[in-house]
Amino acid sequence: MSFRKKYTGVFIAALIVAGWFGLLTFSLQFPTVFTRPWPYILLLLQTHLYTGLFITAHDAMHGVAAPGNRKLNNFIGFVCALLFAFNWYPRLLPKHHQHHHFVATEKDPDYHGGNFWLWYFSFLKQYITWPQMLAMAVTFNLLKYFFPLENVVLYWMLPAIFATFQLFYFGTYQPHKGEHENKHKSTTLKRNHVWAFVSCYFFGYHYEHHDKPFLPWWKLYQEKDLLAKQKVVPKQL
């Protein structure tokens, strides 16, 4: 395996973590004036980076954050999951592989046959734990001791909540709702790489992910193009 192929994922993961930490550090000290657009722009950017943390942890679950280096790969997954609202990587890992093995069945921890909100709350129950909530509460109270309360809420707490919603909607609900004729029981976004990246790091190309789970998120658009050339077009949103 070439050096570039082996460490590109590590470099991208480092960029996301550095971007998340750098923007959070800046935002927590930023003078928040709600009549100006900047707080909302920072909120959206931080939400996108929070989503990137989880997508990176997800890549680590498939061994592609640092291919060929299992310890480094799992370390990246552990750190990114922990930074995303204190998620516990060893707990996420088996659940995600269970999702791939039993997609859209009763054994799939991500799947729920109910309406949107019932499915969303079922999804949250699968992944939110009491120790995680306690860690969030302690961290919240520590941060508000050093930074303005509105900044802590706007740039640390809300982005994590919005990113959870974003990951659920584009990465679980939209791809797997309804009936499917393909083997992955998944739909896919129409080909629009800009929107696919902005919405959820190409994770809306969900059929492509299930078909090639060994591809990192930043290569899913290439698989989308390849399947289009081969005229393999699953149901699109």
Residue ranges of domains in the chain: 3-177
Q: What is the CA 170 to chain-centroid distance, rounded?
A: 9
Q: Are 46 and 27 in contact (CB under 8 A)?
A: yes
How far apart, in whole angstroms, are the C-alpha atoms of residue 40 and residue 124? Answer: 25
How far apart, in whole angstroms, are the C-alpha atoms of residue 229 and residue 2? Answer: 28
Instruction: Count Cβ atoms within 10 A of the Cβ of residue 193 and give its class: 0-12 exposed, 13-18 middle, 19 or more buried.
Output: middle
**Number of neighbouring beta carbons within 10 Å of residue 122:** 15
Tokens of 162: 């919005």
- Give the model's pLDDT for residue 167: 95
Q: CA–CA distance from 227 to each of 111, 208, 212, 219, 236 (Å)?
A: 26, 8, 11, 13, 13
Given a cut of 70, the residues of the chain with pLDDT beneath it are 1-5, 231-237
- Give the model's pLDDT for residue 68: 86
- Give the model's pLDDT for residue 14: 97
How far apart, in whole angstroms, are the C-alpha atoms of residue 85 and residue 68? Answer: 28
How far apart, in whole angstroms, are the C-alpha atoms of residue 79 and residue 68? Answer: 18
| Radius of gyration, alpha carbons of the chain | 18
How far apart, in whole angstroms, are the C-alpha atoms of residue 227 and residue 190? Answer: 12
| φ, ψ at 188 (rounded to 5°) | -145, 155
pTM: 0.92
Q: Is 85 left (phi over 0), alpha (psi -120 to 50) or beta?
A: left
- Give the model's pLDDT for residue 224: 92
Tens of pLDDT, residue by residue over 188-222, are: 999 999 999 999 999 999 999 999 999 999 999 99
Tokens of 114: 């109910």
3-class secondary-structure state, position 188: strand
Q: Are 188 and 235 in contact (CB under 8 A)?
A: yes
